[in-house]
Amino acid sequence: MSTRAICERAGVQAPTLYHHFGSKQGLLEAVVSHGLRQFLACRRAEATGPRDPIADLRDGWDGHIRFGLENPNFYALIYGRVIPGRPCGVVADVEAMILETLRPAAREGRLRVAPEQAAAQIVAASSGVVMALITQPAGSVDLALSDEVRDAVLARITTAPGPDAQRGEPSVPAAAIALAAALDDDPAALSAGETVLLREWLARLAAP
């Protein structure tokens, strides 16, 4: 569909489209981002009662895969037309959504890596799985691939149950990540200089 046709259907001039979205690709990214947000909002509305953050991560992964398979053309328009050196516009939105789930896990000492790093790994892996599944022949989509990659990624970024976890005593890296997440919740707890120094120490302690 041409930019001209889009503007005619919307009843606007071309400069209006470029003012709001920058380019046709920017418009496509906004459409997909809006659709994905609606999809995830419906998923959140269905959830009731207290939730385990790791279970939420699993459900979020599965939801991402389902969205891609139900909207393959939209998904391919965004992730299938990459430009070297230019991040996909939707990635930042998806990572922000994932961070909403990762931060509670971090505060509970259940992450091996910082939430931002974990979000980037989840997005990279899940989007790759969606693209692989989209290209499989119709009727032979192997969802086991998604399950296996999901579990491998979660095992990499989350702490495994063990004696310390059962006693509520996370490892030093997990505790450092948990404290860093707590600082995000109360940024005024320390001065700017103290916060910078503490974050540097926590980053060292959290390093694998």
The DSSP symbol for 70 reads H
Q: Which of 57, 60, 62, 63 is nearest to 103 (CA)?
A: 57
Condensed to tens digits (0 to 9), the pLDDT of residues 22-38 reads 888 788 778 877 777 77
Q: What is the pLDDT of residue 133?
A: 94
Percent of the chain with pLDDT strictly greater than 70 = 86
Which pLDDT belongs to residue 165?
Answer: 44
Q: What one-character-per-residue DSSP string does 133-201 give? A: HHTSPTT---HHHHHHHHHHHHHHHBPPP-HHHHTT---HHHHHHHHHHHHHH-GGGS-HHHHHHHHHH
Euclidean distance between CA atoms 42 and 36, whole angstroms: 10
Per-residue pLDDT, 25: 79
| Segment 170-192 mean pLDDT | 77
pTM, two decimals, is 0.71
What pLDDT is attached to residue 46? Answer: 64
